[in-house]
Chain A
Amino acid sequence: MNAPTSAVLRMDAVTRVHGEGATEVHALRSVSFGVHPGELVAVMGPSGSGKSTLLTLAGGLDSPTSGTVSVEGTDLEGLGAAGRARMRRTSIGYVFQDFNLIPALNAIENVALPLELDGVRTRTARAAARAALDEVGIGDLATRFPDHMSGGQQQRVAIARAVVGDRRLILADEPTGALDSDTGESILRLLRARCDAGAAGVLVTHEARHAAWADRVVFLRDGVVVDETGADSAEVLIDSGTPR
């Protein structure tokens, strides 16, 4: 078996079933794949193919019906709710389509949020947040509230929040969906840059041109991985084996 410890995110035969009996829906069926440091993986597929479910499982916001999800070698299921929350504070960063900044907090406070939640002293957290904002190019907007920012600016804040504190797994759910194409491109460039700097990224998108930024593309349909480009073939053979 390939050393799975080298992958930041590893999903092994993950199945997620919503509901039961007549209303049973298989959102994911025995999906396996891994994302390594420095790698940006795009997940593509039509609506209802299970893209978002894959992302919620990867971030520990939801638990698989069967199979395991591990981040940096740790099985998320074994951690419990509090442990998974700690993972989201220290190892996993989310970027959403509609930004999801907290309107009651200003930019720097939104970015500092994961650190503050982790118990880092406010001063230290803010310094790190300011650095993250500088990195995404909006250090001058630190004290603005989300309501007074453009969509592109808000998404930059969201990315800064996702990477602050040197988190190594970035999960982006259609991060450009609410943005015009120029702004969208600059956001993806930012994401690519973070991965080149050593993070592992998962980008859920349904636009092929965005997938061009990725090292690999995983295609999902009806909860099953139907194709995978540029992947380590041996890994695919072993991991995506017998679909149920």
Chain B
Amino acid sequence: MSRGTSWRLALRLARRDALRNRGRSILVLVMIALPVLAVTAADVVIQTQDVTGVESLDRRLGSADALVTVEAQGSPVVQFFDPYDGSGTVGDQGTGRPPTAEQVSAALGGARLVETHLGAVNVRTDDGVAIVDGTEVDLRDPLSRGLFDLTAGRWPTGPGEVVVNQALLDQGYARGDVLGLTDDGAPAPTIVGVAESAESRTYPVVAGPIGSLGIADREGDAGQPSWLAGGGPVSWDQVRTANALGATVLSRAVVTDPPPTSELPDEMQGWGGSSDDQMVAVIVLVVVMALLEVVLLAGPAFAVTARRQSRTLALMAATGGTPAQSRRVVIGGGMVLGTVAALAGVVLGIGAARLLLPVLQHWSNTWFGPFDVPWLHLLGIALFGLLSAVLAAVVPAWIASRQDVVAVLAGRRADKRPSLRSPILGVVLLGIGIAGSAYGATSSSSGEFAIAGSAVVAVIGMIFLVPIVVVGVARLAGRLPLSPRYAARDAARHRTRTVPAVAAVAATVAGVVALGIAVTSDEAQNRETYRAELPDGMGSVSAYADEAPVDWTQLRAAVAGKLPDAQLTPVRGIIESSTPDGPSYWLDIKAAGVEEPDRLLDSYGSSWGASTLVGESAMTNLPIDVPEGVRQEALRMLQSGGVVAFTDQGVQADELRLELHRWEADSEDESVERLSVPALMVPVALGNAGPQAILSTQAAKRLGAPVGVSGLLVSGPITRAQESAVSEALTATDTSSSFYVERGYQADNETVIIQLVLAALGGVLMLGGTLTATFLALSDARPDLATLAAVGASPRRRRWVAASYALVIGFVGAVLGAAVGFIPGIAVTYPLTNGYSEATAGHYLDVPWLMILGLVVALPLLTALIVGLTARSRLPLVSRLD
């Protein structure tokens, strides 16, 4: 038989077998088509919503051939083909002036230019002030066509008119209203139309002619014009000419058809690509794990197929077939089912994406691109499906080709004894996995990759150990009641079917346990290293001099308006910067009389309004948490003109040296005022987030430090609704102000979601693996169940046997997986929780025992329950006797 005919025979047998055993074929199809479907749908959605360079050009350029932006100092620039990917100034200061429109036009070969200004504008809304994307351009010029899509009203005709998008209307405007721009000197244009931006869907947007929003009048870079250029394609050489003038050019022609990368300026050559290796490593790991999981899930079905075919294969062997031909028959099944599953998965995946897109668009902030089917990716995904089916058939094929022909024809049907080779290989691989994890845990950089890689090795090693574990469990099952004893023994007899199912569950649990330990430990570190900035429940208002000195009376009134019952306590401290044009200050406190003094604090914060508080009132009015004795002592120290300083370094000192650094605005020069004063050291916990010291009024005066109200403490309790109301009221009063409420450590929502997703994923995969193996085992066990019926098993017995099967597979898999998952899980906590600062240093390990207990005990029991309830209770009564 030639190679070709032998494959043809194998594929024909496989196709017939697949059609005859519909249930099993559908099972394999689902196992392989589902991941293919999911990945296909995800890929199509990502490709569609991802607006790549060429697709995005219309959105960014409208109908123009190029968009030119200039740098205020006129320094030469370098850029990628698409300046969004990278650009920057090079060389000296340049001409000191930006290039003019004429210069730019000349550089671009005499292109027609339409001036445009882009910038954020503050707009008054129902709730306060919103930051809105503003565009100033002649919207009626053909070059700007496509940037906005007019949906109602008309385009502006003069600088007193603008169009806005629906998102801005939703914040409290209607067509015909005057837009409330809050920036100083901004005009008050009328809304004459509704136009959607080509890019942003939910973010508020406003557009109007030059001068309508006041962006063009701003100083510095903000006021520099950009130009839409028209009149023909802009070449890369023209872009480089414009670059030399200090203009960055987004050219349609260059992005659509980029020149070779060797054309890029030298400064741009080395950019990007640095993280590519890590990215590839991550993708390879993910693909390997996914492939492993799919292969393991589909494996049992092929194992059963191969065993069902064993008689055919034995007859083939008896009539002179070679082992290779036997193998081909089983692998042929993988090829036939893999091909069908891959094609079905891709087609259904594209359909699913098509249906999903409108739903996703509804939740997205930006407009999706045209429906985009990345055929090359999909080919890869389909090949992945085919490969996983063929791989799933390989081991059963190998075993089938080496079966004992005489035993099969005589009707004996047990698997061979487990060989010793595979457990030894398993132990070796597991050892490599542990060593790799240990290396990753101790190595200084990219330890996570070593750990992830060794986790895959450890899981593969574990798979080799599954057979002897299953056999061991069967040995121990002698004392168990009938159903579990039967299930455990039968599982061990049919290892080709049981092992992949157990391994699939184990691999899933190992992954979930490892990630669970990592996430929980990370969370533990965050919780342990959290330091409250204020007493629990209390709020604080801070503000800095942005354009004018802070008006605390107004801020206080804003808070009192929203929280009439709260007690408001002004905080006095050193004002580090009182006006935008005035000097700024910084106070450094050191132990006096020491050559190289220790730091007093590892960290301090300014949540109280200032990092240095001033005056006795701080000690009497503010909730500084010290024992009463220390408070009295501190008061005496402040009365006598000294300083109360906090230390988390255990520094002992009776006298401290204060150094007040002072900078004038627009100047690099620094002057320092020094003063030594008596001091009281108050120890605080490491990781302090409060102020660094309380200065006596006298000492502040002698230093010449500017003292004033620097913050406002608000007594609690403050609800979240009140917090957001106060924040809005404050922003409306002074945009530099902010409101912080201490609520203690708050678990990140993401962490909770990740844990839920992990648990759900683990549950689904465990259910999938267990269900497949159980129902295959039940169909395989038909003769045994008929015998059970004949000797008097009640109909319910089948349910018990089914549930026991599920329990054996789920429980053995979960225990093995949890044990293996601990290796990378614990290892990865070392690089993960290795803090940088002294306060966060150390190693945090928190094992999510509840989740692991759920995976190892509750989930197998739940799966068994589901299997028990869904299994048909009718025993195949007469099949044996027919």
Contact = CB atoms under 8 A, between A and B. Distances in A.
The answer to whether A binds B is yes
B304 to A, nearest CB: 16
B489 A89 contact: no
A117 B787 contact: no
Interface residues on B, range: 20 to 34
B94 interface: no
B783 A100 contact: yes
B780 to A, nearest CB: 11
Interface string A117-144: 1100010000000000000000000000
B792 A88 contact: yes
Interface in B854-882: 877-878, 880-882
Given A100-B783, A103-B413, A105-B485, A117 B877 contact: no
Contacts of B622: none
Interface in B323-357: none
A56 B793 contact: no
B712 to A, nearest CB: 77
Interface string A82-108: 100111111011101010111111000
Contacts of B794: 81-82, 85-86, 117
A223 interface: no
A104 B792 contact: no
B878 A61 contact: yes
B655 interface: no
Given A56-B881, A61-B878, A104-B493, A90 B784 contact: no
A114 B791 contact: yes
A105 B486 contact: yes
Contact of B787 (A59, A81, A101): A101
A59 B486 contact: no
Nearest to A82: B794
A142 to B, nearest CB: 12
B232 interface: no
A116 interface: yes
B718 interface: no
Contact of A102 (B413, B414, B784): B784
B490 interface: yes
Interface string A181-197: 00000000000000000
B789 interface: yes
B198 to A, nearest CB: 68
A117 B797 contact: yes
A109 interface: yes
Given A85-B792, A103-B414, A56 B878 contact: yes
Q: Which of A86, A102, A104 has the most CB of B within 10 A?
A: A104
Contact of A87 (B414, B792, B880): B792
Contacts of A92: 792
A173 B413 CA distance: 23
B511 to A, nearest CB: 32
B791 A88 contact: yes
A52 interface: yes
A55 B414 CA distance: 30
Nearest to A59: B790
A61 B791 contact: no
A85 B795 contact: yes
B485 A88 contact: no
Contacts of A81: 794-795
A147 B789 contact: no
A62 interface: yes
Contacts of B481: 116, 122
A85 B493 contact: no
A114 B787 contact: no
Nearest to B490: A104
B141 to A, nearest CB: 83
B653 interface: no
A161 interface: yes
B412 interface: yes
A106 to B, nearest CB: 9
A196 to B, nearest CB: 23
B627 to A, nearest CB: 69
A113 interface: yes
Nearest to A53: B881
Contacts of A103: 413-414, 493, 784
Contacts of B765: none
B277 to A, nearest CB: 51
B878 A118 contact: no
Contacts of B792: 85-90, 92, 114, 117-118
A113 B881 contact: no
B791 to A, nearest CB: 5
B493 A89 contact: no
A143 to B, nearest CB: 9
B788 interface: yes
Contact of A173 (B489, B787, B881): B881
B288 interface: no
A80 to B, nearest CB: 10
A93 B790 CA distance: 8
Given A56-B881, A62-B877, A100-B880, A117 B486 contact: no
B773 to A, nearest CB: 15
Contacts of A105: 485-486, 489
A93 to B, nearest CB: 8
A62 B877 CA distance: 8
Contacts of A52: 881-882
Contacts of B795: 81-82, 85
B787 A102 contact: yes
A217 to B, nearest CB: 21
Contacts of B790: 59, 61, 88, 94, 96, 100
Q: Which of A96, A117, A118 has the most CB of B within 10 A?
A: A117
Contacts of B784: 102-104
A147 B787 contact: no
Contacts of A104: 486, 489-490, 493, 784
A87 B412 CA distance: 31
A94 B489 contact: no
A55 B486 CA distance: 27
B482 interface: yes
Contacts of A114: 791-792
A105 to B, nearest CB: 7
B493 A102 contact: no
Contacts of A96: 790, 880-881
24 contacts: A55-B881, A56-B881, A59-B790, A61-B790, A61-B881, A81-B795, A82-B794, A82-B795, A85-B795, A86-B792, A88-B790, A88-B791, A89-B793, A96-B880, A100-B783, A102-B486, A103-B493, A104-B486, A104-B489, A109-B485, A113-B788, A116-B481, A117-B797, A122-B481
Given A96-B790, A113-B791, A161-B791, 14 more contacts: A61-B877, A61-B881, A81-B794, A85-B792, A87-B792, A90-B792, A96-B881, A98-B411, A102-B486, A103-B413, A104-B490, A104-B493, A105-B486, A113-B788
Q: Which 8 residue pairs spanning A and B have beta carbons closest together?
A: A89-B792, A88-B792, A104-B489, A104-B490, A85-B794, A100-B787, A94-B790, A114-B791
